[in-house]
C-alpha cells in the first residue's frame, strides 16, 4: 500500500495473443506493463499461458517454443527494469524434466517466483493432461529460469509493501477447495487468477458469480484475467474476461469479444479486508498448508489521490432499480417476520402505534399491516393513534388520517396540547420557553398515551424510530426512544424514504398512494415547535443535525467498515461530489461523532427490534459500546482535517 487510506491499485489485463510467438506476446505484455505503470497500478495479471497462447496444443512440447518463451520472459524483465509495477504472466516451464503450466511473478528486472498450476482439467473440451503435470504439493523448491534463480512451487505467496497476495491458474478456482482459499487463510488479501476459459452460452454470468463468491468466501480481492483475441478458434472461442471482485462485490468487468487490448483497474481496500477478517474470528483453517512468503522489494508507485472504484453515496440503498425492489421486499418481510414472532409469543392481537404523518411512523404502520396480514389478523386490531400537538401541521395531520383509514386500521385521535400545558404548569415551565423540556415533554406525553392505550386494550406499542435517529440520539429518552418493539430499529433514514416510496408505487393506489408519496416529499421533522404562520413546518431535523444521507454514509463507514474519520471524509467528498463541499462534509462529520458517542446511553436502553441489514445498533449483539466511551480521538482527527481546509 502506498497511500494513507489503505488502498492497493491492481489490474486485470487481456492483451492480444499471437499463437506460438513468444516475443510478440512479450511485446504486448510490455505495453500492458507500461500502461499499467502510467495508471499507478501496483500489480497486473495477464491470462494463462499469455506468452505462448493457451491453444498451442502439442507445440508446447517443442524445444524451440519452450526456449523462446523463457527468453521472452527474460527480455520482458529487462525491459521493465525501471517499472516497479509487478507483472504476472503465464508460460510453460520445464522443471525436473516435467512440463508445468505456470505463472511468473516479476517486477523491476527481478523474477520473484514461479507458481505451477495445481489442477489439470481433462474433461469435456479440456485435455490438458496430454501436456501438463500438476504442480500440487511442490514446495520448498527453487528453479533457475530466465537467467535468474527464484522460488518455484505451489506453496508460494508474495508480499509487496506489507500486503500479501497469492496466485492460482484457471481450473484451480473451479475445484472444491481452491489453492486461493488456503492462501487467504494464510494471509493473502489479494488473489490473482491467470485463466483461459472458453466461452459458452450463459457461462459468463456463472463465471462472474463464481469470482464474486470466491472473493467473498476468502474475504479477499480476486483479480481474474482470461484469454481473448488471438487464441485459436478451431473448436473454442475465447471472449477475454477481465474481472475484479472484492468481498463478494464486483468492482470491474471488461467488455468481451473485442479485438484490442483491454485492462480493468480497481483500487482494492486492503485495510477493510483486514478489518473484516479481524472481526470474523472464524476466518482460519487449522490444517492449511504452510506457505513460503516471498518479500518483493520494488519501489513504491506514487499516484494521485484519486480512488479507482465506485463510491456509493447511499450504502444502505441499492443503486440498481431491480436490486432495490428486492431489497425493499426483503426488509418488509424481515420486519413482519420479527413482529409476528413477538405477537405470537405474547398472544397479542392488538398493536398500538403513534402515527404522525411522517416517514418513520408510516413505514412502521405499513410493516405492522403486513404482519397482521401474515398472521391472518384483522387490521382493525391495529390502533393508529394521531396526537396533534403544538407543531402539528395540516399536511402531516391529514396524511396520518388518510393513511390509517385507507389501510383499514382503527383510528384514535388524542390531542396533547392541554395535557402538555397542564404539565408545564405542574413543573413550572414557561410555555413560551422553547427549551429541550418543552420539546421532550411532548414526546414523553405521546409515549405515555400509547403505553396506556396499549394497557387498556391488551396491545403492544410498536416503536417507529429509525436507526439513523438512534445513531445520532435524535430521540427523547423514555419518550419516542421507548416502545415494546422497535420495528424500524435497524432501518436507516435513507432507506425508510425509499421503502415508503416503493410501497406507494408498487402496492398502493388511489388516495393511499397519493398520501404515501406526499409523506415521502414532506421534510423530516419531529414537529415539536409551533408551525409557521403559513402553516408550514417550522422545525426541520436536517437543519439541526445535518443531512441524513451524509449521516447514513458516516454510520456505514464507521460501524461496518470501521474507517478512520479522515478516510470517511475523503470518501464522502468523492461520493457526494457536486452535492456537498468538503467543508460541509467535515462539519457534519464532527456532529456525527459528537452525537454518536454522547448518545450511546439511549441505545443501551433501546427495546427489541429486528435487524434487517449489515449494520445494527442493538446493545444485545451489534454494538457493545459503553455509554462512557470517549469521543476525543475521533474529534481530534476531524479537527485536523478542518485545520487543513482552513489553511488551504
Query: Percent of the chain at pLDDT above 70?
Result: 99
Cα(286)–Cα(186) distance, rounded to whole angstroms? 10
Res 462: pLDDT: 98
369-396 pLDDT tens trace: 999 999 999 999 999 999 999 999 999 9
- Whether pLDDT at 258 is above 70: yes
Mark whether 631 is an active-site residue. Answer: no
**pLDDT value, residue 236:** 81
Catalytic residue (choose from 56, 102, 150, 170): 170
For 586-621, how does the pLDDT look when each residue is reduced to its tens digit (9 = 90+)? 999 999 999 999 999 999 999 999 999 999 999 998
Q: What secondary structure does DSSP assign to 145-186, as a single string? A: ETTEEEEESTTEEEEETTEEEEEEEGGGGTSSS-HHHHHHHT
Report the CATH superfamily, name and number, of domain 7-296: Carbon-nitrogen hydrolase (3.60.110.10)
Q: Mention every residue, 6+ apart, whose C-beta is less than 8 A from residue 96.
A: none
User: Quick check: 638 and 586 in contact, CB under 8 A?
Assistant: yes
Q: Which of 422, 14, 93 is nearest to 256 (CA)?
A: 14
Distance CA 43, CA 506 (A): 46
Residue 141 bridge partners (DSSP): 152
For residues 335-362, average pLDDT? 97
Which pLDDT belongs to residue 2?
Answer: 47
Q: What is the pTM of this model?
A: 0.93
User: What's the confidence (pLDDT) of residue 304?
Assistant: 61
48 is a catalytic site residue: yes
Ramachandran assignment for 31, one of left (phi > 0), alpha (psi -120 to 50 degrees), beta (any other)? alpha
Q: Is 274 in contact with 232 (CB distance < 8 Å)?
A: no
Q: Is CATH 3.40.50.1000 what the domain over 321-647 is classified as, yes or no?
A: no
Q: Find the range with the poorest average confidence among 299-303, 469-473, 509-513, 567-571.
A: 299-303
Identify whether the C-beta of residue 349 lies closer than 8 Å to the C-beta of residue 376: no
With pLDDT > 90 as the criterion, what percentage of the chain qualifies?
Answer: 87
How sure is the predictor about 32, in pLDDT bands with cuts at 50, 70 and 90?
A: very high
Q: How do residues 260-292 score in pLDDT, each as one tens digit?
A: 899 999 999 999 999 999 999 999 999 889 999
Sign of CA dihedral 614, 617, 620, 626: positive
> What does the pLDDT look like over 310-337, one tens digit per residue?
999 999 999 999 999 999 999 999 999 9
Q: Output the pLDDT for position 240.
A: 87
Outline where 349-466 has alpha helix (H): 359-375, 394-406, 417-427, 436-457
- Residues 541 and 548: their CA atoms lie apart, in Å, by 9
Could you give the dihedral angle defined by the CA atoms of residues 158, 159, 163 and 168, in that order, rounded to the nearest 10 degrees? 0
The per-residue pLDDT for 234 is 81
Q: 262 φ, ψ to 5°?
A: -150, 160
- Is 170 assigned a catalytic role? yes
Task: Please state the rounded mean pLDDT for residues 527-545.
Answer: 79
When pLDDT is averaged across residues 99-117 and rounded to a whole number, the result is 98
**pLDDT given at position 3:** 63
For the chain, residues classed under CATH 3.40.50.620 are 321-647
Does the pLDDT at position 648 exceed 90?
Answer: no
Instruction: Kindly list the distances between the CA atom of residue 128 and the CA atoms of 132, 134, 199, 239, in Å, as whole numbers in the listed order.
Output: 6, 10, 17, 20
Q: Is 578 exposed, middle or buried (0-12, 13-18, 19+ CB in 10 A)?
A: exposed
Instruction: List the catalytic residue out of 48, 70, 164, 168.
Output: 48
Segment 136-155 mean pLDDT: 97
Q: Please, what is the average pLDDT of the chain?
A: 94
Kindly name the residue from 117, 493, 582, 602 that is annotated as catalytic. Answer: 117
What stretch(es) of the chain map to CATH 3.60.110.10?
Answer: 7-296
Model pLDDT for residues 415-459, shown as the tens digit of each residue? 999 999 999 999 999 988 889 999 999 999 999 999 999 999 999
What average pLDDT does the segment 50-74 reach? 96
Q: Is 26 exposed, middle or buried (0-12, 13-18, 19+ CB in 10 A)?
A: buried
Amino acid at each position: 500500500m502506498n497511500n494513507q487510506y489503505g488502498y492497493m491499485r491492481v489490474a486485470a489485463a487481456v492483451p492480444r495473443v499471437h499463437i506460438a510467438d513468444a516475443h510478440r506476446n512479450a511485446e504486448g505484455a510490455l505495453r500492458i506493463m507500461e500502461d499499467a505503470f502510467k495508471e499507478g497500478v501496483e500489480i497486473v495479471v495477464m491470462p494463462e499461458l499469455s506468452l505462448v497462447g493457451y491453444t498451442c496444443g502439442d507445440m508446447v512440447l517443442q524445444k524451440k517454443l519452450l526456449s523462446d518463451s523463457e527468453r521472452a520472459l527474460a527480455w520482458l524483465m529487462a525491459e521493465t527494469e525501471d517499472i516497479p509495477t509487478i507483472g504476472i504472466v503465464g508460460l510453460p516451464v520445464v522443471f525436473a524434466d516435467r512440463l508445468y503450466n505456470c505463472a511468473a511473478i516479476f517486477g523491476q528486472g527481478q523474477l520473484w517466483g514461479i507458481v505451477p498450476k495445481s489442477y489439470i482439467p481433462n474433461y469435456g473440451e479440456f485435455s490438458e493432461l496430454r501436456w501438463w503435470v500438476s504442480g500440487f504439493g511442490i514446495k520448498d523448491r527453487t528453479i533457475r529460469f530466465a537467467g535468474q534463480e527464484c522460488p518455484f512451487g505451489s506453496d508460494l505467496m508474495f508480499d509487496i509493501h506489507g500486503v500479501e497476495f497469492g496466485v492460482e491458474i484457471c481450473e484451480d478456482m473451479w475445484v472444491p477447495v481452491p489453492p486461493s482459499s488456503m492462501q487467504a487463510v494464510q494471509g493473502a488479501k489479494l488473489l490473482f487468477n491467470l485463466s483461459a476459459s472458453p466461452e459458452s452460452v450463459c457461462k459468463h454470468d456463472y463465471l462472474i458469480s463464481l469470482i464474486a463468491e470466491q472473493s467473498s468466501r476468502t474475504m479477499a480481492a480476486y483479480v481474474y484475467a482470461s484469454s481473448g483475441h488471438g487464441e485459436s478458434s478451431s473448436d473454442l472461442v475465447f471472449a477475454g474476461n477481465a474481472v475484479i471482485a472484492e468481498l463478494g462485490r464486483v468492482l470491474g468487468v471488461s467488455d468481451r469479444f473485442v479485438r484490442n487490448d483491454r485492462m480493468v483497474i480497481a483500487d482494492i481496500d486492503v485495510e477493510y479486508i483486514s478489518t473484516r477478517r479481524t472481526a470474523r474470528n472464524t476466518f482460519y483453517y487449522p490444517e492449511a498448508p504452510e506457505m513460503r512468503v516471498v518479500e518483493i522489494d520494488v519501489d513504491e508507485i506514487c499516484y494521485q489521490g484519486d480512488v479507482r472504484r465506485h463510491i456509493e453515496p447511499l450504502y444502505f440503498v441499492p443503486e440498481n432499480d431491480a436490486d432495490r425492489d428486492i431489497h425493499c421486499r426483503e426488509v418488509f418481510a424481515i420486519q413482519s417476520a420479527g413482529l409476528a414472532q413477538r405477537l405470537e409469543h405474547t398472544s397479542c392481537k392488538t398493536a398500538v402505534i403513534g402515527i404522525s404523518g411522517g416517514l418513520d411512523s408510516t413505514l412502521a404502520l405499513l410493516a405492522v399491516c403486513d404482519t397482521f396480514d401474515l398472521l391472518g389478523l384483522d387490521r382493525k386490531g391495529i390502533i393508529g393513534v394521531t396526537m396533534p400537538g403544538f407543531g402539528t401541521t395540516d399536511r402531516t395531520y391529514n396524511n396520518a388520517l388518510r393513511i390509517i383509514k385507507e389501510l383499514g386500521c382503527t383510528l384514535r385521535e388524542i390531542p396533547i396540547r392541554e395535557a402538555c400545558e397542564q404539565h408545564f404548569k405542574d413543573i413550572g415551565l414557561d410555555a413560551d420557553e422553547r427549551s429541550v423540556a418543552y420539546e421532550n415533554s411532548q414526546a414523553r406525553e405521546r409515549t405515555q398515551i400509547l403505553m396506556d392505550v396499549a394497557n387498556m386494550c391488551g396491545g403492544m406499542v410498536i416503536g417507529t424510530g429509525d436507526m439513523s435517529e438512534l445513531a445520532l440520539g435524535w430521540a427523547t429518552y423514555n419518550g419516542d426512544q421507548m416502545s415494546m418493539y422497535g420495528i424500524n430499529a435497524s432501518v436507516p433514514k435513507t432507506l425508510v424514504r425509499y421503502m415508503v416510496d416503493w410501497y406507494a408505487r408498487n402496492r398502493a393506489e388511489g388516495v393511499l398512494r397519493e398520501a404515501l408519496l406526499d409523506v415521502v416529499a414532506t421534510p423530516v421533522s419531529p414537529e415539536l415547535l409551533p408551525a409557521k404562520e403559513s402553516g408550514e413546518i417550522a422545525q426541520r431535523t436536517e437543519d439541526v443535525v445535518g443531512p441524513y444521507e451524509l449521516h447514513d454514509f458516516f454510520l456505514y463507514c464507521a460501524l461496518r467498515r470501521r474507517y478512520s474519520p479522515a478516510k470517511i471524509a475523503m470518501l464522502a467528498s468523492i461520493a457526494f461530489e457536486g452535492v456537498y463541499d468538503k467543508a460541509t462534509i467535515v462539519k457534519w462529520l464532527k456532529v456525527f461523532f459528537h452525537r454518536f458517542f454522547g448518545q450511546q446511553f439511549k441505545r443501551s436502553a433501546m427495546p427489541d427490534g429486528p435487524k434487517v441489514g449489515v449494520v445494527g445498533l442493538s446493545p444485545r449483539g451489534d454494538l457493545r459500546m459503553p455509554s462512557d466511551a470517549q469521543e476525543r480521538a475521533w474529534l481530534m482527527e476531524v479537527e485536523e482535517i478542518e485545520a487543513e481546509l482552513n489553511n488551504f
